Structure 1
Amino acid sequence: MSYLVLARKYRPRNFTEMVGQEHVVQALTNALVQQRLHHAYLFTGTRGVGKTTVSRILAKSLNCQGADGQGGITAEPCGVCQACRDIDAGRFVDYTELDAASNRGVDEVQSLLEQAVYKPVQGRFKVFMIDEVHMLTNTAFNAMLKTLEEPPEYLKFVLATTDPQKVPVTVLSRCLQFNLRPMAPETVFEHLTQVLAAEQLSAEPQALRLLSRAARGSMRDALSLTDQAIAFGNGQLQEAGVRQMLGSVDRTHVLQLIRALTDGDGATVVGQVNALRLQGVSAAATLEDMAMLLQRMAVMQMVPGMAQDGDDPDTQGLADLAQAMPAEETQLLYSLCLHGRTELGLAPDEYAALTMVFLRLLAFKPPAGTAEKKSPRISLQPVTEVAAATSRPPSVPPAAVAQPRAEPAAQSPQVPTSAAQTSPVPTARPSTVPVSEPPPWEDLPDTADYASDDAADAFVASLPASVPAASGLRALPVREASDSARVDVPKAASSTPLQTTPEGDVWFGVVQGLLAQEAITALVRELALQSQLVARDADQWMLRIERESLNHAASRERLQTALATAGHGQVQLQIELGPVVDCPAKRLAIAAAAKMVAAQALIENDPMVQAMVRDFGARIVPGSLQVV
């Protein structure tokens, strides 16, 4: 006797044997019990989830005669009567299956519909089952519309498709549609365990888990892979054999890769990728398994205890990694793994592409121990007035350096420190300033005009002590304002209040000169705007930043080159981490905020605006003001 594959041998014969489709089984069972039968059913879903199986069970339920030959329509077909046995064997004359993929023309559909005028020969109902119905031509669909809408009382249509979007809406509106879901890996695992127990075959749980995940929601694929694994393992299903058959990566390698990425160990990452190359493991499978583990880690980080699986031996290791890796790095690495799979085919070597995907995370991650190994602060004497005059850019007038506080209109717009730190927020006229931080790969807006606007400077200088500097401003979410109403200004690295310093005045003038000459862009501009000049001498300047991500050797060297080109000599920059209280970004943000306050006051005090508000109930839409 020839061997019958597991997918056909264990095909469900009734609704109780169906797994993973309880929502469809419940609806059809209730309809059969109450005898509220529709004339056309449409089953949709991916391959191997039971569309044809449900159709055959439904046909048996409609035509079952019972073991004694006296049965009627039932939700539990007996399986022993002539109709049930003939439908299972595929020889029931009143049950017709049409493969629309190979019979997609109007002639085949018309030939099928010609049989609709004849009553059933053996059964109670004629059942026309059209598989992959979306493959029919438009003419064929049009030919069956009338019969599909008003068929004879003894005729039932069952349509099945994997792509319901290609089925015309005129057909969809004539059918009851049921969407069969992909099987969950846990459901496939339980069913495979029962099948192998019935076959009296031993299997390791981890091997069945691999098969369940490789099936990707299809029970037929899972049973077919199980057949292949049984043949590969000579009747035994072991994890090592199944992993080798599937070409999937060992979880140990994936966990070691995640651990190395957590520790910032690039050497271990490259070594693990080389080991995968020697074993011939697919790079796409590596990224897929890593994305799966990272998803579980993200759930553990956000909802502890929800992703725990006591039967999985990797659960404890994942829990340790979830605690060791920051949540933002987990999300970044997950995104890199997803997008990295599309890059494998573009690279000349998929393992080189795999290495680049992992090293990309390390490129955006500060090396381990950087905070402890930062350069020590050097002790520098304050510069004299003459040295400051010789080191400033040509675009900054001498008064901006020699007298930083006497003429605020000639340099950066400043607010008294006491007002920036202690002033309460005014309640009569709240100001809304949309402040957004552009990504590092986009150029910041031209900020030279912020310091040169005399009206804004005069307004800031005349602000009373009750007006806050920056702490009282509310950032407007992007969804509340259109793009035309947004004012993009540099935002300080933290919410620390601005505390002006003499060195900050000099550094602000230098940065303004570089921005006016367009000598710095992207990350270099961000480094200059977010840093504070702490001390300097003729050939060495000390900058302080709060974000370690700005401290890149390439950005520092490009900033040194820009300073030398602007006439500041061969300056060597030293960068330290610490709180920043005076940086160009803070000053520009306060200047933009002051301009917005002035613009809002100008609009609200306009007589025409006040008349419209008084007479017509008009109002100023928050965030609609734009400072140009």
Structure 2
Amino acid sequence: MSYLVLARKFRPKTFGEMVGQEHVVRALENALTSQRLHHAYLFTGTRGVGKTTVSRILAKSLNCQGLDGQGGVTATPCGQCQACREIDAGRFIDYTELDAASNRGVDEVQTLLEQAVYKPVQGRFKVFMIDEVHMLTNTAFNAMLKTLEEPPEYLKFVLATTDPQKVPVTVLSRCLQFNLRPMAPETVREHLARVLASESVPADDASLRLLARAARGSMRDALSLTDQAIAFGAGALEEATVRQMLGSADRGHVLRLIEALAAADGRTVVDTCEELRRQGLSAAATLEDMATVLQRMAVLQAVPAGVQAGDDPEALDAARLAAALPPDETQLLYSICLHGRAELGLAPDEYAGLTMVLLRLLAFKPATATVAAAEKKTPLDGRAGLSGAPVAPSAPSAPPRAPVAAATVLAPAPPARVPAAPAQPERLRVVDMPPVQVIAPAPAPLAAQAATEMPPDMVAIAVRDQPEPGARQQPRAGATPARLVATEEGELWHQTVQQLIAAEAINALPRELALQSQLIARDGDHWMLRVERESLNQPASRERLRAALEQAGHGARLSVEVGVVTDSPARRNAAFAQERQRAAEETVRNDAFVQAMVRDFGAKIVASGIKPIPPSSHSQATRS
């Protein structure tokens, strides 16, 4: 006798044997008991959750004749009468199953509907079961609409699909819809334990948990994997053999990776990934197992007393790791694991992708640690730190160099250096440094200077300005306004910031904080700044700017408040740039050749095309 696979051998024969679909079973049993029967049913759900099984049990309930042959419609079919046995064997003449995946045309549907005019031969009802109904063509759907809406009283339709979104609404509105849900891993594990006990197959609890999770809510997949595990393990199910069959990482590997990430131990992370490569274990399954553990850790961190460990051996490990990893890093690592699974296919190989995904958290750790350390430092007003006790300020360390892509600096374009500009001290010499360009102050009477340098034979005539083609660009959000109220402290702060930028002592967010802030007051070694945006006032940025100022010989303490800023280095740079642009436009308008072109050929000046000469280019032209 040939072997019958577990998925077929243990297919439920009655509603009482169904597991995990109590909401559907209860509704159908009540309808059968009260004789309130609908003419069309639609069962939806993922593969292997019992759609076809429910259809067959419903057909037996409608046609069961009882042991004495006098039975009627019932919610508990006997399973012994001729109708029940033939439906289970698939040869009942009044129960027709149509696979719409291979019979999706209008001809097949019309052939099925032609049988609807004939009354049942053996049973009480004709039952037409169409599996994967969403695969039917639009013409086939239209052909069955009328019969589906008003079938004969002896005809029942049962439709099943894994994708109800593709079923036309005209069909959905004619059916009573039931959604069969994916089964919980605990439900699958308990059912597998009963099946294996009846089969006399020894199995440990850990192997059943692995199979239940690998089934992903499908009981048929769980039973098929169990068949494979029995063959792989020579008649016994053990955790090691099941893990090897599934290609999933050992729990020790997963826990070791999370422990190494919590301790910022990059060497252990790389070595563990190489060990996974040597053993041929799945990188995607490793990330999935890590996400499972991290989810339990996050729940324990949010609700420490709300989760009971029970008899799950993984609960203790999750509790231990939850205490070792901060909640924010747990959430970050969970998100990285989820999104990293989609990146494995883009990597040169999946193990290289796994290594990069896990090292991504270590790349974010320094920034997180810097912010945490800066927030724990004692504020300038002497208040206690986060723990309530005063924290002594530590020695400043060299700030890490931030990526260029992370900097959002709204600095003006490099201007041209005016020859008559007063020379700055050597220590404040401005150098070209992309992407931030520091603009040297220009003399105020630029227009008068340009006018005095005009040749005596030049005649000033009216010049027509050509508007820019198309719509002008709108100013960027957050751009520095042109209004500037100069102060003595602002001049000192502008020169100091220029010195720090030229020396590359600040970059990224600290550089933006320095450019957008105004020096309000100085009290010995205490400098008070003011910014308009709260987003710039970050602990890490303040600490890095303070360290740069201290290295440059300035104040050792720094405090930042939020308020109106009227004199900042960025505003001064913008004002200088506007003045240089205006002077450049005046120079072009007063040029003899330009005026000749305007007078003789009707030329027009496009103001947007006039750019001041950069300082470096101007200096080279002067030397030549």
State the alpha-carbon separation in 2 of the partners of residues 77 and 318 from structure 1: 47
TM-score by length of 1: 0.67
Cα deviation for residue 305 of structure 1 reads 3.4
State the alpha-carbon separation in 1 of the partners of residues 283 and 74 from structure 2: 51
1:301 matched residue in structure 2: 301
**Structure number with bigger Rg:** 2
State the alpha-carbon separation in 1 of the partners of residues 94 and 2 from structure 2: 28
Cα deviation for residue 309 of structure 1 reads 3.3
Residue deviations 1:22-44 (CA, integer Å, cap 9, x gap): 11001101100110000000000
Aligned residue among 423, 428, 431 for 1:391? 428
The 3-state SS of whatever aligns with 1:130 is strand
Matches within 5 A, 1:430-579: 448-449=480-481, 453=483, 506-507=492-493, 510-511=496-497, 522-523=508-509, 525-526=511-512, 528=514, 547-548=539-540
Q: Letter of the aligned partner of 1:391 in structure 2?
A: L
The 3-state SS of whatever aligns with 1:177 is strand
Q: Letter of the aligned partner of 2:242 in structure 1?
A: V
2:213 matched residue in structure 1: 213
State the alpha-carbon separation in 2 of the partners of residues 217 and 589 from structure 1: 59
Residue deviations 1:556-613 (CA, integer Å, cap 9, x gap): 9xx99xx9xxxxxxx967999x985137xx4667999xxxxxxxxxxxxxxxxxxxxx
Q: Letter of the aligned partner of 1:453 in structure 2?
A: R
CA change 1:260–1:549 in 2 (3 A) is farther
The 3-state SS of whatever aligns with 2:30 is helix
State the alpha-carbon separation in 1 of the partners of residues 112 and 45 from structure 2: 24
Residue deviations 1:513-571 (CA, integer Å, cap 9, x gap): 9999xx9985464464699999999xxxxxx996448989xx99xx99xx9xxxxxxx9
Task: Give ranges in structure 2 of 5+ residues lacking alignment.
Answer: 375-391, 398-422, 431-437, 444-474, 526-535, 569-624
Cα deviation for residue 7 of structure 1 reads 0.3
Contact 2:483 2:566 in 1 (8 A): no
2:395 matched residue in structure 1: 376
State the alpha-carbon separation in 1 of the partners of residues 28 and 186 from structure 2: 24
1:238 matched residue in structure 2: 238
2:74 matched residue in structure 1: 74
Q: Letter of the aligned partner of 2:295 in structure 1?
A: Q
CA change 1:309–1:549 in 2 (3 A) is farther
State the alpha-carbon separation in 2 of the partners of residues 155 and 292 from structure 1: 47
CA change 1:73–1:545 in 2 (3 A) is closer
CA change 1:550–1:208 in 2 (3 A) is farther
Residue deviations 1:137-187 (CA, integer Å, cap 9, x gap): 111111100000000000000000001111111100000010000011010
Contact 1:546 1:579 in 2 (8 A): no
User: Between the two proteins, what is the percent identity of the paired residues?
Assistant: 69
1:582 matched residue in structure 2: 560
The 3-state SS of whatever aligns with 2:202 is coil
1:275 aligns with 2:275: yes
Cα deviation for residue 366 of structure 1 reads 1.8
CA change 1:506–1:244 in 2 (3 A) is farther
CA change 1:388–1:194 in 2 (3 A) is farther
Contact 1:446 1:515 in 2 (8 A): no
The 3-state SS of whatever aligns with 1:582 is strand
State the alpha-carbon separation in 1 of the partners of residues 298 and 500 from structure 2: 43
State the alpha-carbon separation in 2 of the partners of residues 222 and 390 from structure 1: 74
CA change 1:377–1:547 in 2 (3 A) is closer
1:121 aligns with 2:116: no
Q: Letter of the aligned partner of 1:98 in structure 2?
A: L
Matches within 5 A, 1:187-266: 187-266=187-266
2:467 matched residue in structure 1: none
TM-score by length of 2: 0.68
CA change 1:122–1:369 in 2 (3 A) is closer
The 3-state SS of whatever aligns with 1:41 is strand
State the alpha-carbon separation in 1 of the partners of residues 17 and 252 from structure 2: 37
Residue deviations 1:79-128 (CA, integer Å, cap 9, x gap): 11111111011111100000001111111101100100000011100000
State the alpha-carbon separation in 2 of the partners of residues 587 and 398 from structure 1: 28
CA change 1:352–1:33 in 2 (3 A) is same
In the alignment of these two chains, the number of paired residues is 474
State the alpha-carbon separation in 2 of the partners of residues 575 and 98 from structure 1: 85
CA change 1:90–1:15 in 2 (3 A) is same
The 3-state SS of whatever aligns with 1:365 is helix
2:9 matched residue in structure 1: 9
1:487 matched residue in structure 2: none
State the alpha-carbon separation in 1 of the partners of residues 70 and 566 from structure 2: 89
CA change 1:21–1:575 in 2 (3 A) is farther
Contact 1:148 1:174 in 2 (8 A): yes
State the alpha-carbon separation in 2 of the partners of residues 575 and 185 from structure 1: 63
Contact 2:428 2:495 in 1 (8 A): no
Task: Give ranges in structure 1 of 5+ residues lacking alignment.
Answer: 379-385, 400-442, 462-500, 538-543, 564-570, 593-628
CA change 1:375–1:447 in 2 (3 A) is farther
Cα deviation for residue 362 of structure 1 reads 0.8
1:472 matched residue in structure 2: none
Cα deviation for residue 67 of structure 1 reads 1.1
1:30 matched residue in structure 2: 30
Contact 1:531 1:545 in 2 (8 A): no
Residue deviations 1:40-91 (CA, integer Å, cap 9, x gap): 0000000000000000000000001111111110001011111111101111
CA change 1:315–1:551 in 2 (3 A) is farther
Contact 2:542 2:558 in 1 (8 A): no
State the alpha-carbon separation in 2 of the partners of residues 231 and 587 from structure 1: 73
CA change 1:521–1:389 in 2 (3 A) is closer
CA change 1:512–1:45 in 2 (3 A) is farther
RMSD: 4.2
The 3-state SS of whatever aligns with 2:201 is coil
State the alpha-carbon separation in 2 of the partners of residues 282 and 125 from structure 1: 51
CA change 1:51–1:550 in 2 (3 A) is farther
Residue deviations 1:9-32 (CA, integer Å, cap 9, x gap): 000000010000011001101100
1:286 aligns with 2:289: no
1:612 matched residue in structure 2: none
Cα deviation for residue 196 of structure 1 reads 0.6
Q: Letter of the aligned partner of 1:134 in structure 2?
A: H
Contact 1:64 1:81 in 2 (8 A): yes
State the alpha-carbon separation in 1 of the partners of residues 508 and 191 from structure 2: 56
Contact 1:297 1:330 in 2 (8 A): yes
Q: Letter of the aligned partner of 2:146 in structure 1?
A: K
Cα deviation for residue 277 of structure 1 reads 1.0
State the alpha-carbon separation in 2 of the partners of residues 575 and 117 from structure 1: 98
Q: Letter of the aligned partner of 2:188 in structure 1?
A: V
